[in-house]
Structure 1
């Protein structure tokens, strides 16, 4: 038999009103007591009716998260950080993998609205920001994470991508590299554009240029794309001596290309990634990369979203939260030989 709120109240030795307050995040109840009641709910497999809550205009304690590809370690780690922080606050998260395709995004947004989500976190590229209009019209708060959108209705939580590109380029310049190429995910994605801009300006300050032929982008399968693009860049006689890859998966693909071309890393080719996912420390050689504080960004995004719940759109904060990246030096970079 399915557990009811009365079963939870009886087990916890409290009134059903107290259980309701715990579910809705109200009342002067200690954190320890709340956790105890949540534990009883989990043990009894009691689930408050989301549909009933939605029909009465109450919060459903459900958030949506759009990511390009959950198999990408960066977005997998981000989703875990978002889900952990949301769970701590009493929320569930519906995770949707979009491949940066507006058709999928539209379909998932319709699904999330049917589930009456309380708020949305966007970590995916999006061409058509009008897709967000139905959520905005319902005063559903929207946070973008690790991506800038052109919509004025999203609250961004970002790493400083431009500074990350500069860090990568300056590290390679300090190693003595002058022929530096860039492999990006997509020029449609703001983070890629900003990272390339950072590289370009760091090179310009050093009296060097980033030729268009040394910038490569495109494709969804990042591992194979990193390899394919690296193979193309490394074929000419005047090949680059260093590659900056706009995420770690592209960099791992570039490592595979170097191995296929029998180029030693870092002796004959230096490679820098971006993200500092768990994969960066287990590659051969371990990957020098630009670290994004993934866990911190996930927590900040959830906290910001929850703080905006219940506010009218015109009363919400519109400040950008920008976090500085860090260079993590491992064994994939060295002076050119």
Structure 2
């Protein structure tokens, strides 16, 4: 979709919390690539349906040629966008709970859930959990589906924990509440978190709770802090540069690659999936005494 003359094209980017490290990582890749193409980025940080409608109305006079969602906000978000910006195509970029009718671009999150399940089972963890933020609908994310389905093959069902939001403090409170209200003999041995932010909170809660509690933790997203000596977080890494490039091509050029490398992620193996110190490199690092 091209604009006449030299009027720059504007891409609206919708997100919920700019503080979310996963969103920041994707937003960084998106703005840099749009800048390189001579496009302008309009950030729409949304807090409610009314706020979403108001921001779209404010943006309507601008030469917007695409709307990118970095998070799925509401069940009817596409209807709201189409009603206010009827000619503007939309794209959900690496969002967990995109509506089924959305033009969504995600790496193979189902495979990620399977791989994390296998990793934790290989460590001998017997009781496992999954921590996620609230979702607008009852639909499970692809990563959760892969995780749950793979555990089912080993005759295991994960304990589901829900944080109030996708944020570190919410992960901390959810995990601390779980530890306080669950007998030690019944607690999970390992926890897969839907984001690195939740994983950081869960790890810190386990450390602060003490009392001999040890829980292996795996995150999702591989934000910069995950590799720090404080966490040594084992997590799933996507390829934001490749995902963003594919998304921009689909949005602006209607050209896509359904078999590209953008779909493939990988485990970043560090230390947190062990749950407690083990012989070798882990004993020498700063995180060993904190697990």
Report the TM range for the smaller structure's normalisation.
0.7 to 0.9
Q: Specify the alignment match of 1:251 in structure 2.
A: 199
Q: Specify the alignment match of 2:99 in structure 1.
A: 150
Q: 1:297 aligns with which of 243, 248, 256?
A: 243
**1:258-277 equivalence runs, <5 A:** 258-262=206-210, 268-277=214-223
Taking structure 1 as the reference length, the TM-score comes to: 0.72
8 Å contact 2:196–2:219 — kept in the other structure?
A: yes
Alpha-carbon offset, residue 262 of structure 1: 1.6
Task: Check 1:123–1:335 CA distance in 2 against 1; reply closer, same or farther (3 A cut).
Answer: closer
Alpha-carbon offset, residue 183 of structure 1: 0.6
8 Å contact 2:200–2:231 — kept in the other structure?
A: no
Q: In terms of mean alpha carbon deviation, does 163-172 or 214-223 score higher?
A: 214-223
8 Å contact 1:245–1:274 — kept in the other structure?
A: yes
What secondary structure sits across from 2:64 in the alignment?
coil
Which digits, 9 at most, give the CA deviation of each residue in 1:17-66, with x for residues without a partner? xxxxxxx98xxxxxxxxxxxxxxxxxxxxxxxxxxx7xx79854111111
Q: Specify the alignment match of 2:274 in structure 1.
A: 334
Which digits, 9 at most, give the CA deviation of each residue in 1:136-183, with x for residues without a partner? 632x2211101253364x432112222211111111001101111111
Q: 1:231 aligns with which of 171, 176, 189?
A: 176
Task: Indicate the structure with greater helix content.
Answer: 1
Structure 1 residue runs of 5 or longer lacking an equivalent are 1-23, 26-52, 309-315
8 Å contact 2:250–2:256 — kept in the other structure?
A: no
Q: Specify the alignment match of 1:165 in structure 2.
A: 113
Structure 2 residue runs of 5 or longer lacking an equivalent are 278-291
8 Å contact 1:79–1:298 — kept in the other structure?
A: no
8 Å contact 2:246–2:257 — kept in the other structure?
A: no
8 Å contact 2:60–2:85 — kept in the other structure?
A: no
Taking structure 2 as the reference length, the TM-score comes to: 0.82
Which digits, 9 at most, give the CA deviation of each residue in 1:199-242, with x for residues without a partner? 211111112122xxx21224236111100111122231211011
Alpha-carbon offset, residue 335 of structure 1: 6.7
Task: Check 1:249–1:165 CA distance in 2 against 1; reply closer, same or farther (3 A cut).
Answer: same
| Structure having the higher Rg | 1
Q: Specify the alignment match of 2:285 in structure 1.
A: none
Which digits, 9 at most, give the CA deviation of each residue in 1:45-94, with x for residues without a partner? xxxxxxxx7xx798541111112211111111111111111111110101
8 Å contact 1:258–1:264 — kept in the other structure?
A: no
The CA RMSD measured in Å over matched residues stands at 3.0
In 1: Cα distance, 2:223 partner to 2:140 partner: 17
Alpha-carbon offset, residue 264 of structure 1: 7.0
**1:54-93 equivalence runs, <5 A:** 60-93=8-41
In 1: Cα distance, 2:251 partner to 2:138 partner: 21
Q: Specify the alignment match of 2:53 in structure 1.
A: 106
